[in-house]
Amino acid sequence: MDEIDQAILRELQVDGRIPYSDLGPKVGLSPSAARLRLQRLIDSKAVQVVGVTDPMTQGQQTMALLGLHVDGDPRAVADELSRHDEVVYTVLTAGSFDLFAEVVCGQPRDLLDFVNDVVRVVEGVTSVESFPYFAIHTHRFLWHVD
């Protein structure tokens, strides 16, 4: 990734919908060259341009981080949990938990049902600790691009 690619990423982090006619000049390229550069980054999977939502403003009122202890390979548990729409992401980790899963549910009762009826019955899960969210304080997808 060269300096122009990094400049493109910085501009996209400010405005992911920036028109190529604006992006090109900001990074020292023509609009068509900027489009080709961005397409190359997308094709190589270095960049993914997506819309980010806040589930708590979209009618989904209950979010939680689940800390799981797993007997065996946590990747298999992460794969199984990832099949469910309620799971936003899974993270393999070290420390007191083997795996974290962020989940979004409609109501607190839905979270309880998901933890008890889905998560606890996954083969390999030995315990689950739930950390419900009261509010999202900071939610950013900006990374320093050198």
117 lies in the same domain as 64: yes
Q: Which pLDDT does position 59 carry in this prediction? A: 62
Q: Read off the CATH number of the domain in which 127 is found.
A: 3.30.70.920
31 lies in the same domain as 61: no
Q: Please check the confidence at residue 55 and state whether its pLDDT lies above 70.
A: no
DSSP state of 73: -
Residue 29 lies inside a defined structural domain of this protein: yes
pTM across the whole model: 0.69
The H or E element containing residue 88 is: strand 87-92
Residue 146 lies inside a defined structural domain of this protein: no
Please give the span between the terminal C-alpha atoms of the chain, in angstroms, as a whole number: 10
Quote the Cα angle for 62-132-78, to 5°.
Answer: 90
pLDDT tens digits, 82-98: 999 999 999 999 999 99
26 lies in the same domain as 79: no
Domain of 35 in residue numbering reads as: 3-43
67 lies in the same domain as 100: yes
**What is the spatial order of strands in the sheet that 87-92 belongs to?**
87-92, 99-105, 62-70, 125-132
Q: Read off the CATH number of the domain in which 25 is found.
A: 1.10.10.10
Residue 127 lies inside a defined structural domain of this protein: yes
Q: Which residue has the higher pLDDT, 62 or 137?
A: 62
Q: Which pLDDT does position 145 carry in this prediction? A: 63
Residue 23 lies inside a defined structural domain of this protein: yes
66 lies in the same domain as 124: yes
- 86 closest CA partner among 57, 118, 59: 118
The H or E element containing residue 20 is: helix 20-27
**Total structural domains in the chain?**
2
